[in-house]
């Protein structure tokens, strides 16, 4: 039986590469649902190519354009966030690939978990904002959460065959982004055009800016806590500019296991969809003889303060990671709109974390309210 896949965020970087994986394995996978926020043309092109049962455009103002463009095909077209939450519960779906960007991915992922769907998780913010709620819900519903991020996929793979062996340390590798060698004075003047030129990875605009500021790595630290059940003091970040070692696990006997691969997201996506099996692929291989030296550097939390702020949010827990994420989304949007400086983003995020009232054990409704309040505070600080 082919596994039926729903892709939340099919027009983004992860979504399009997931469709490459599905297309390369037509005997194993079939697209059941495709969703996007605003990318009408790309969504229509994907729908005509893969002929899913369902298409959802989250921005309701684009509904008629999508429906008319697909009128000659037997595809059900829906619009709005409620439709996203309903579609992921459809009976035929086996796996929901959560690749939407930002807080918007939280509610559909929750509904998919409640419906018992396997989650291939590429949306960092889901666990950053509500890690305790998501993991407890997944445990109650016996739903596996399979990591898609290259770093967390690497850790997941390093844990295979190590049942019962105590983790001494998780070591997340970071490329360092385009600005790792810059001074504070130069960082204060960088532009969005410079920040969007990642040296190794081809990603969407939001995650590329997060990578440049190292907030992306901070989010991954928070994710690792919930995915792998370790405390914040057992998660380290090491800058590895070549992006060949995707992450490592150190065990109590001192042995370190590392997962290596080309900087290409097709492989972790494929592993999440095929787990526990490995499939043959034509995706890029590592050329060990031609790569040169692999180097490592200490992550500079003083210069890249977003990483320090993420550790602070994880240590405090409760609503603090939700505030961190909301303020960061506001700041990244402002930076992409030339409304705030690169270093100012950290100032605004920190002030927002200090201003928004802390809650120790938020519910889903609390997270929604705290997210909205945090965005309002961060926007007022711009």
Last residue of a domain, one of 86, 113, 147: 147
Instruction: Say whether both 164 and 196 belong to one domain.
Output: yes
DSSP codes joined into one string, 305-369? HHHHHHHHHHHH-TTHHHHHHHHHHHHHHHHHTT-S-TTHHHHHHHHHHHHSPP-SS--HHHHHH
pLDDT of residue 240: 96
Instruction: Say whether both 172 and 304 belong to one domain.
Output: yes
Instruction: Say whether both 302 and 169 belong to one domain.
Output: yes
Which of 247, 236, 249, 222 lies closest to 166 in space, CA to CA? Answer: 249
Report whether 160 contacts 246 (CB < 8 A). no
Which of 147, 171, 175, 176 lies closest to 257 in space, CA to CA? Answer: 171
pLDDT of residue 199: 75
Instruction: For residue 98, give its domain range.
Output: 3-147
pLDDT of residue 52: 98
pLDDT of residue 207: 86
Last residue of a domain, one of 132, 147, 162: 147
For the chain, the domain total comes to 2
309 is a domain residue: yes
pLDDT tens-digit profile, the chain (382 residues): 899 999 999 999 999 999 999 999 999 999 999 999 999 999 999 999 999 999 999 999 999 999 999 999 999 999 999 999 999 999 999 999 999 988 889 999 999 999 999 999 999 889 999 999 999 999 999 999 999 999 999 999 999 999 889 999 999 999 988 898 899 999 999 999 999 987 777 777 888 999 999 999 999 999 999 999 999 999 999 999 999 999 999 999 999 999 999 889 999 999 999 999 999 999 889 999 888 899 999 999 999 999 999 999 999 999 999 999 999 999 999 999 999 999 999 999 999 999 999 999 999 999 999 999 999 999 999 9
Question: How far, in Å, CA of 39 to CA of 69, rounded?
Answer: 13
pLDDT of residue 200: 74
Report whether 240 contacts 331 (CB < 8 A). no
The helices-and-strands tally (H runs, E runs) of the chain is 16, 12
pLDDT of residue 124: 87
Strand ranges across the sheet with 167-174:
256-260, 245-251, 167-174, 235-239, 297-298
Residue 142, domain CATH: 3.40.50.720
């Amino acid at each position: 039986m082919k596994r039926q896949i729903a892709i939340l965020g099919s027009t983004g970087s992860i979504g399009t590469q997931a469709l490459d994986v599905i297309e390369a394995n037509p005997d194993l996978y079939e697209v059941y649902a495709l969703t996007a926020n605003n990318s009408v043309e790309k969504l229509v092109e994907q729908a005509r190519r893969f002929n899913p049962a369902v298409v959802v455009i989250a921005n309701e103002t684009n509904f008629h354009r999508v429906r008319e463009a697909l009128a000659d095909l037997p595809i059900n077209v829906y619009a709005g966030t409620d439709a996203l939450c309903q579609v992921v519960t459809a009976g035929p779906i086996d796996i929901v690939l959560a690749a939407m960007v930002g807080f918007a991915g939280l509610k559909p992922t929750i509904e998919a978990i409640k419906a018992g769907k396997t989650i291939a998780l590429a949306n960092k913010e889901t666990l950053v904002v509500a890690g305790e709620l998501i993991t407890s819900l997944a445990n109650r519903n016996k739903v596996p959460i399979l990591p898609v991020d290259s770093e967390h996929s690497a850790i997941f793979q390093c844990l295979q065959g190590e049942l019962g062996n105590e983790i001494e340390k998780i070591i997340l590798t970071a490329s360092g982004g385009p600005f790792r060698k810059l001074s504070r004075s130069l960082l204060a003047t960088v532009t969005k055009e410079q920040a969007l030129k990642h040296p190794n990875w081809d990603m969407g605009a939001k995650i590329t800016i997060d990578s440049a500021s190292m907030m992306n790595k901070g989010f991954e630290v928070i994710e690792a806590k919930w995915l792998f059940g370790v405390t914040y003091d057992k998660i380290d970040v090491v800058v590895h500019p070549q992006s060949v070692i995707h992450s490592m696990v150190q065990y109590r006997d001192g042995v370190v296991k590392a997962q290596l691969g080309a900087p290409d997201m097709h492989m972790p996506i494929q592993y999440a969809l095929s787990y526990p099996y490995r499939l043959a692929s034509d995706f890029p291989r590592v050329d060990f003889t031609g790569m040169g030296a692999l180097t490592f550097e200490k992550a500079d939390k003083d210069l890249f303060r977003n990483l320090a702020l993420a550790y602070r949010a994880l240590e405090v827990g409760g609503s603090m990671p939700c505030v961190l994420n909301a303020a960061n989304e506001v700041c990244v949007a402002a930076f992409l709109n030339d409304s705030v400086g690169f270093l100012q983003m950290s100032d605004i995020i920190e002030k927002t974390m200090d201003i928004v009232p802390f809650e120790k054990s938020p519910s889903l409704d609390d997270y929604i309210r705290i997210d909205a309040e945090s965005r309002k505070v961060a926007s007022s600080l711009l």
